[in-house]
Amino acid sequence: MTRRHLNNRVPRHKRVSKRERDARALAFAATLLQRALAGGHTVVGVFPVEGGGVSYHFAYTVGRCLRGWPELIATGVSNLGDALLNWVDAHWDAHPGPGVRWPVSEGAIMTVPVPEDQRDDHLTMVQSLRFGPGVPADWSALQVVWRTDAGLWPWDLSDPTLPVLAGPDWRPA
């Protein structure tokens, strides 16, 4: 973290030029694409910042669409997002389909279709790489949701840190 002075400005010797920021972002994107092209995927974690666009943690995959599978997103996760999404990916062959409960130990998880506008707003690294080699133009995404210890699903709660991207009125069929 960059240390700020009392006047809330970054010291001149610690400032990073726009060119340097752009170069770092491009290197990050290239690393993600390289991992995805190596036959797998990677997980990107997004954390809320004051004055930022979202007020909740979320994580999403980058690279599953290269295998013809939907990308995955989980909201309301912090350090566990990568473990959850990697587990779902590893067990994808047993996936029962969107809106169907997928039994897991004590509780259950399911995947919920993500609308295109929410997909494009949240999975920005996939969106920025979509013109890369092998990325289909019509890629899709599924949100991984889970039941709480009390047996409640996110649509049964009024918790803004666990939004259902398909909308607050979405329910499985």
Confidence band for 93, pLDDT divided at 50, 70 and 90:
confident
Q: What is the pLDDT of residues 109-157, one digit of tens each?
A: 888 888 888 887 888 777 766 655 556 667 889 999 888 778 888 888 8
Q: Which residues contact 173 (CB under 8 A, 6 or more apart)?
A: 99
* Burial (CB count <10 Å: 0-12, 13-18, 19+), residue 94: exposed
Report the SS3 class of residue 67: helix
What is the enclosing helix (H) or strand (E) of 22?
helix 18-37
The structural domains of the chain, with segments of one domain joined by +, span 41-156
**Does the predicted model carry a pTM greater than 0.95?**
no
**Distances in whole angstroms, Cα of residue 173 to Cα of each of 8, 40, 60, 167:** 52, 31, 25, 15
